[in-house]
Amino acid sequence: MKRLVLIAAAAAAFSGAAAAQQTVTLKVHSFSSALAPEAVHHMLPLIEKLDKDSGGRLKLEFYPSMQLGGKPGDLIQQMEDGVVDIVITIPGLTPGRFAGLEGTELPFTNVGTSAGQTAAMLEWVNKWLLTSDFKNIKIVHMHTTDAAVLHMRAKQVKTLADFKGMKVRVPGRFVGEAVKALGGTPVGVPLGGIYEALERGQIDAMTINWAIMTPYKFQEVTKYHLETPVYQNAIMTLMRQASYDKLPADLKKVLDSNIGLEYSVGIARKVDELTGPAKKAIAAHGNVIYSIPDAERARWIAAVQPVYALWIQEMNKRGLPGQQMFDDLLARTAKYGRK
């Protein structure tokens, strides 16, 4: 009997050692291209770092631009079904699924820089959304875009009245509601289809961040660019909790030591470094970058107040304290520089 116990113990030890030495490959699926900031400054360097720190035992296979098939709106389902382990996506691609996080995209509530908005967002998410929007999800990384502004094809928007009749591409529900409140018509167009939609005049304008303009050459199909920040998108790198739970303890440690608030804000600072060069490239193309007076901006903010109420009501319906969450969001973004 003693001999059998020893054999069993030895077998268990061998099995544990083998598990500790196994190589794990995780599939990463992204809605955006390999040239996008979230690939160049986040995912590609992270893949190399995890491979190095794990001695080659933690490998990430990266599939940008929906290379594994499906539509961008399918990414979360692909992750939850275990088709892939990690996805890079934005809240607006799966309307309602991250309704809480969409609160960080409410117009004129944002800091204006990726570093500031990212820090505010992560603090706020950790307080309010871990057991709702992100239940059974491991947050690998989140940062925001730099400031998303209004880019116009031919007609320059200077006042609320100028929005009338304009078809504006938006990334999600609450930005769309804001465009409606301002007097325009929101249109959903995938990132890869924006250039053609602008070129053909199918849309008159779009809301998108500065840094993404030049990789997609959007300066070629736009003329006017409003300096005033409107909102900022959250870009999420999310992992299926079950995929994380299956990792050996030492590989969990490798992953966790390479992510977190400091890491995410560091990525955000790199995103902010793209804003200036993007503006220079846009201006060099002969386009016009301009601002609106503070008094006009105040009128726009007054016009979108019902959008705030809409989001607050949505949170209340989900059993969350909507007004308290909204007030806390404003406090945190003000803390990090919102004006």
Half-sphere exposure of 11 toward its Cβ, with a 13 Å CA cutoff?
6
Q: Are residues 139 and 106 in the same domain?
A: yes
H or E stretch at 282:
helix 275-284
Residue 273 to residues 105, 127, 211, 214, 276, Cα–Cα distance (Å): 21, 29, 9, 13, 7
Residues 221 and 128 in one domain: no
Per-residue confidence (pLDDT) for residue 59, from 0 to 100:
98
Cα Rg of the chain (Å, integer): 22
Task: Tell me the pairing of strands 167-170 and 137-144.
Answer: unpaired
pLDDT of residue 17: 47
Q: Is residue 58 located within the same domain as residue 28?
A: yes
Asked whether 131 and 120 are in contact (CB, 8 A), the reply is: no
Q: Which amino acid is at 268?
A: A
Residue 154 has what DSSP assignment?
S
| Assigned domain for 16 exists | no
* pLDDT of res. 45: 98
Query: Is the domain of 45 the same as that of 115?
Result: yes
Comparing CA positions, the residue from 89, 27, 88 lying closest to residue 61 is 27
* DSSP assignments along 288-331, one per residue: EEE---HHHHHHHHHHTHHHHHHHHHHHHHTTS-HHHHHHHHHH
State residue 20's pLDDT score.
Answer: 54
Closest CA to 216 of 242, 196, 195, 243: 195
Same domain, 60 and 76: yes
Whether residues 289 and 158 fall in one domain? yes
> What is the predicted pLDDT for the residue at 3?
47
Structural domain of 249: 24-145+233-272
> Closest Cα partner for 138 from 65, 240, 12, 59?
240
pLDDT less than 50: residues of the chain: 1-19
How many domains does one find in the chain? 2
Q: What is the pLDDT of residues 94-106, one digit of tens each?
A: 989 999 999 999 9
* Structure confidence at residue 286 (pLDDT): 97
Domain CATH for 89:
3.40.190.170
Does residue 200 lie within any of the structural domains?
A: yes
Return the pLDDT at 241: 98
Give the list of residues 6+ apart from residue 233 with CB closer than 8 angstroms, or none.
90, 91, 92, 105, 144, 145, 148, 171, 172, 209
With respect to residue 329, please indicate whether it lies within any of the assigned structural domains: no
Q: What is the CATH number of the domain that holds 155?
A: 3.40.190.10
Separation CA 236–CA 30 (nearest Å)? 10
Residue 244 placed within a domain: yes
In a domain? residue 318: no
Count other Cβ atoms within 10 Å, centred on residue 43: 23
- Domain check: are 106 and 192 in the same one? no
pLDDT given at position 21: 77
